[in-house]
Amino acid sequence: MTTNRIGRANGEEETPFPLLKFVSGDTLAERLQEVKPLGETEHSLYRLVKDAASGEHYLHYAARHLNIAGGGAEEHYHHLLPLGSDDVIAIALGEPWPVYPDEWRSAYLRNGPNGGYVWYDPDGAAGGSDDAAGYEAAALALREKLLAFRREGGRSEADLQRLLDETEGLFPRREPNGE
């Protein structure tokens, strides 16, 4: 696993979350500070939080779900939407915040398995018309590679790694901020 820290002459500074593909839950717990609670119900909450290391602000949405099909287990979902300084000021002064999921249009962190958070882009491949053709071509190339892999009967770890290496660069790269 690679380190998430950038060394500085006067000490160590944490890497801003948008530069990371995966953020551990422990890292978030250490770095996030509540700025202002915004709203809470029995099953959800919104709050304004700040990354103490980078100074970046996020809208934190948390939801509690009772999984009846899973034996009544309680599940917790957390989402962190990066906010610009104008949005932070407006929300802190009482303006309405973006409601999840309808008004979350840019990439945000969401929790998943293994105790970590990954970036999710709600627009996905269709988000930018500039990228649409690139994604379409990449999807076709990926389909062909997967079909060939299946036909050739590749089953070893080396075969799978080769497939992953070949497909990694197919899709256009997008930063978590959507650019």
pTM over 0.85: no
> In the block, which residue shows the tokens 């909450």?
45
C-alpha 70/C-alpha 104 separation (Å) is 28
CB-based contact 127:106 (threshold 8 Å) = no
Please give the Cα distance from 79 to 40 (Å, whole number).
15
Q: Which helix (H) or strand (E) holds 93?
A: none
d(CA 74, CA 66): 5
pLDDT for the residue numbered 84: 93
φ/ψ of residue 119, rounded to 5: -80, 135
Categorise residue 72: left if φ over 0, alpha if ψ from -120 to 50, beta otherwise: left
Q: What dihedral angle (degrees, nearest 10) is formed by the CA atoms of 61, 62, 66, 72?
A: 150
What pLDDT does residue 1 have? 35
41-76: b or e for each residue (b if 16 or more CB lie within 10 Å)?
Answer: eeeebbbbbbbebeebbbbbbbeeeeeeeeeeeeee
pLDDT averaged over 10-residue windows placed end to end, the chain, 179 residues: 33 68 88 94 94 93 83 86 94 92 90 83 62 68 78 79 76 56
Specify the amino acid at residue 73: A
